[in-house]
Amino acid sequence: MYRWWVLIIRAIPESGADNVLDIIKADFYRIMRGKAFYITLSLLLAFIILQVVTGHTESLLSTNFGGESDSVLITGITAPFEMMSNSDTTLFFLLVFIVIIAVFDFSSGTAKNVLTSGVSRMEYYFAKLVLSLLFCFAISFLMVAVSSVSATIVRGFGGAFDMAFFGSLLRTFAAQLLILFAITCMGVFFVFTVKNVVAFVGLFLAFGLLPQLIIAFIASFFNEDTISVLWFFHFDLWGSAVRVARIGAMGTSDVIVALLIGVFYIAISTLGGIMLFKRSEIK
């Protein structure tokens, strides 16, 4: 993970890379000193363990909004996959951390102070983006690791911890992480577009909820085979995050499309966010 974001930063001129690293360090220090981080982290861990113990890990956005949910027996070997199928947990907690990382800078005036100290807007954007991606990775990793450990303690591992299990887990985790990174990039794009906590939260939730509502509405009138041919459903990132959690049941073409669309969102949101931020007014 370290090599990945260092390569991004090294694409920026050396002095700019130093500025990005300085902002990341300062933000990380600020976040670690605040109560919001520890409260959010505690809630995340409690929520993961609660889902494992109760066996209710279904995704809120993928159960047709109000459909019946059943408790499942979760063991250490199934817990990571069950939790990855509930990507909503990751996304809702990611929403909180993006607010802590970036949005409050605009409401507090910190963003304007940093930008007047010699930091370029691109450097500032990249710093917030990289830190948000790191937190996205951390949340995703905790979802997998904590769920597996807690399920093993409660019900046992339930299988062999071998290369087959590890390979399947790594493939699923990597595919979903790419989609979650795309959602994170969109979240940061929204931050730098609206620069307001309430507007950001509303826009981020609308980005995830509205496509799901439309899909659920259409699903009530058409059968699944008809829905599957509607190409625009592939652009629903939140739904894709749930689908790739069952990557073994997906066709190769569907996996490739989902990952390419994730890359598309990453590229367009990052480039678009930087361009808009360079032209926007900072109060």
pLDDT at 227: 52
What's residue 63's pLDDT? 44
Secondary structure letter of residue 114 according to DSSP:
H
Helix axes 252-279, 163-194, angle to 10 degrees: 30
Q: What is the pLDDT along the chain (283 residues), one digit of tens a residue?
A: 444 444 444 544 445 678 899 999 999 999 999 999 999 999 999 999 998 988 877 655 544 444 455 677 899 999 999 999 887 888 899 999 999 999 988 988 889 899 988 899 999 999 999 999 999 999 999 999 999 999 999 999 988 889 999 999 999 999 999 999 999 999 999 999 999 999 999 999 999 888 877 777 776 776 655 555 456 677 889 889 988 999 988 889 889 999 999 999 999 999 999 999 999 988 7
Say how far residue 5 (Cα) sits from the centre of its chain: 16
8 Å CB contact between 48 and 151: no
Write down the pLDDT at residue 69: 55
Tell me what pLDDT residue 65 has: 44
Q: What is the 3-state secondary structure (H, E, C) of the chain?
A: CHHHHHHHHHCCCHHHHHHHHHHHHHHHHHHHHCHHHHHHHHHHHHHHHHHHHHCCCCCHHHCCCCCCCCCCCCCCCCHHHHHHHCHHHHHHHHHHHHHHHHHHHHHHCHHHHHHCCCCCHHHHHHHHHHHHHHHHHHHHHHHHHHHHHHHHHHHCCCCCCCHHHHHHHHHHHHHHHHHHHHHHHHHHHHHHHHCCHHHHHHHHHHHHHHHHHHHHHHHCCCCHHHHHCCHHHHHCHHHHHHHHHHHHHCCHHHHHHHHHHHHHHHHHHHHHHHHHHHHCCCC
Tokens 């963003």 label which residue?
A: 111
Alpha-carbon distance of 233 to 206, in angstroms, equals: 15
What pLDDT does 16 receive?
62
Q: What pTM value is reported for the model?
A: 0.88
How far is 37 from 100, CA to CA, in rounded Å? 8
Amino acid (one-letter) located at 53: V
Q: At 122, list the tokens.
A: 């691109």
CB 245 within 8 A of CB 84: yes
Tell me what pLDDT residue 223 has: 60
